[in-house]
Amino acid sequence: MNQPLISVIIPFYNAERWISRCLDSVIGQTYRALEIILVSDGSTDGSDGIALQYEREDPRVRYVRQDNRGVGEARNRGLSLATGEWICFIDADDYVSRHYVQVMADALISDATDAVSVNFYVELPSGWRLPYPFIVLRKRLSGQQAVKQSFRVLFFPTFVWNKLFRRSLFTENGIRFPSILYEDALVVPLLFFHSRQVVVLKKPCYHYLRHSGSLTHELASRHVHDYLRAASMLRSHLLESGEWGKWEKPFTRWLNRISAQIFFMLYFSKRTMPWKERDRLVRKMGAAIKTIKRAGDAELNPDELVFPL
C-alpha cells in the first residue's frame, strides 16, 4: 500500500544546541514518505547552517528563512509550502521516537479520521523523563468530543506537536496560527471542531524538553494576556458556529480551568517577580475572564480585550 505524503514542519529560532538531535530523529523515521520543512524564524546563531547541511544531505528536507515574526508565523510559512496530505509539527528543541510518524500513520484506518494524537514524555535536560498522564477514556472521538476533552486542559492538552492533522482542515477552514503565545490553545480545538473523527493513542512517542529558566514580569504578563486572548478568539469562533448554547457551559468550565492554571503558574513556580506584581496580574486576569464570560452572545473582539502588559 502506498504511504501518503506527510509534511513535517519544524520552526526554529536560535536552536543550534538542539536542532541536530531533533533533525536526526526525524530523518531516521521508519516512515519514509516525508516532506520535512525547516523554517528559520530569523535565527542569529548557527542553527541556519545546520539546517542547510541537512537540506544538502537529504532530498526530503526543505529549508526556508523569514524575518523574526514568532513561532505562529513560522508554522504558517511551513503550511503555505506543505504539499503532504497530512501535517505534523515538531519543535526544534524537542525530538521524537523513530516510530513517531508510523504510529500515527497506522491509526489512519478510517477515511473519516482527520486527526491523530499520541502521548509524550516530559523530559528534563538531565535526561530524566516521565510519560505525561494522558487520560482520555475513548480511543476514537468525534471532533466535538475531542474539543470537549481538550477543554479538560491537563489530561488532554492542546499542544500541536504531538498530533497529526489532515492538511485540508487548515486549507478548507482558513485556520492559521495567530502571532501570540498559546497559539495552539486556539488552533488545536478549531482543528478538532472541524474534524469528523480523532484517534487518541496513549503510546508516548514525542519527547518534550523542559528547560530551566524564569520569566520576567513583562513576559509573565504576556503569557497571561495571550492565553486569555486565545480563549477569547476561540469563543468568537464558537459563537460564529451558531451553536453557542451547546458550547457555553464547557467553554466556561475551560475558562475556569485556565484561571486556576495561570494562578498556579504565577504563585507556585519560580519567578523573578515581586509578589505585588503577581497579585496585580491575578486581578487583571480575573477581570478579563469576567469580561469574556459577561459578553454573552454579544460580539467580543479579541483584539479589544484590555489587558495591559
Q: What percent of the chain has pLDDT over 90?
A: 65
Mean pLDDT of 192-220: 81
pLDDT confidence of residue 309: 45
- Domains in the chain, number: 2
SS3 letters for 155-184? CCCCCCCCEEEEHHHHHHHCCCCCCCCCCH
Spatial distance between the Cα atoms of 126 and 189, rounded to a whole number of angstroms: 33
Spatial distance between the Cα atoms of 85 and 183, rounded to a whole number of angstroms: 23
pLDDT confidence of residue 299: 54
Residue whose entry in the numeric block shows the C-alpha cell 475551560: 254
**pLDDT-derived band at 1, boundaries 50, 70, 90:** low
Domain boundary among 185, 209, 233: 209
Residues 196 and 229 in one domain: no
* Residue 264: other Cβ atoms inside 10 A: 10
Q: Tell me the pairing of strands 6-12 and 86-89.
A: parallel
Residues 188 and 153 in one domain: yes
Mean pLDDT of 211-223: 60
CB of 198 closer than 8 Å to CB of 140: yes
- The more confident residue out of 282 and 74 is 74
Spatial distance between the Cα atoms of 149 and 139, rounded to a whole number of angstroms: 12
Residue 45: is its pLDDT beyond 50?
A: yes
Of the listed ranges 52-56, 176-180, 182-186, 287-291, the one predicted with least confidence: 287-291
What is the per-residue pLDDT across 117-160, written as a single tens digit (0 to 9) for each? 999 999 988 878 999 988 787 899 999 999 999 998 778 889 99
Residues 200 and 255 in one domain: no
Residues 169 and 140 in one domain: yes
Residue 81: is its pLDDT beyond 60?
A: yes
Residue 136 — left, alpha, or beta (φ > 0 → left; ψ -120 to 50 → alpha)?
beta
Residues 35 and 173 in one domain: yes
Residues 174 and 286 in one domain: no
CB of 64 closer than 8 Å to CB of 37: yes
**pLDDT-derived band at 209, boundaries 50, 70, 90:** very high
Q: Name the average pLDDT for the chain.
A: 89
Residues 192 and 261 in one domain: no
Is residue 290 situated within a structural domain?
Answer: yes
Q: Which three cell numbers stand for residue 118?
A: 499520541
Residues 141 and 221 in one domain: no
CB of 201 closer than 8 Å to CB of 118: yes
**pLDDT-derived band at 266, boundaries 50, 70, 90:** confident
Q: Which three cell numbers stand for residue 302?
A: 479579541
Residues 203 and 240 in one domain: no
Residues 83 and 228 in one domain: no
CB of 69 closer than 8 Å to CB of 40: no
Residue 296: is its pLDDT beyond 70?
A: no
pTM for this structure? 0.91
Spatial distance between the Cα atoms of 159 and 163, rounded to a whole number of angstroms: 8
Spatial distance between the Cα atoms of 106 and 170, rounded to a whole number of angstroms: 22
Query: In terms of residue numbers, what domain contains 170?
Result: 6-209
Mean pLDDT of 246-261: 90
* CATH number, position 62: 3.90.550.10
Of the listed ranges 2-16, 134-148, 229-243, 258-272, the one predicted with least confidence: 258-272
**pLDDT-derived band at 38, boundaries 50, 70, 90:** very high
Is residue 1 situated within a structural domain?
Answer: no
**pLDDT-derived band at 215, boundaries 50, 70, 90:** very low
Spatial distance between the Cα atoms of 203 and 131, rounded to a whole number of angstroms: 9
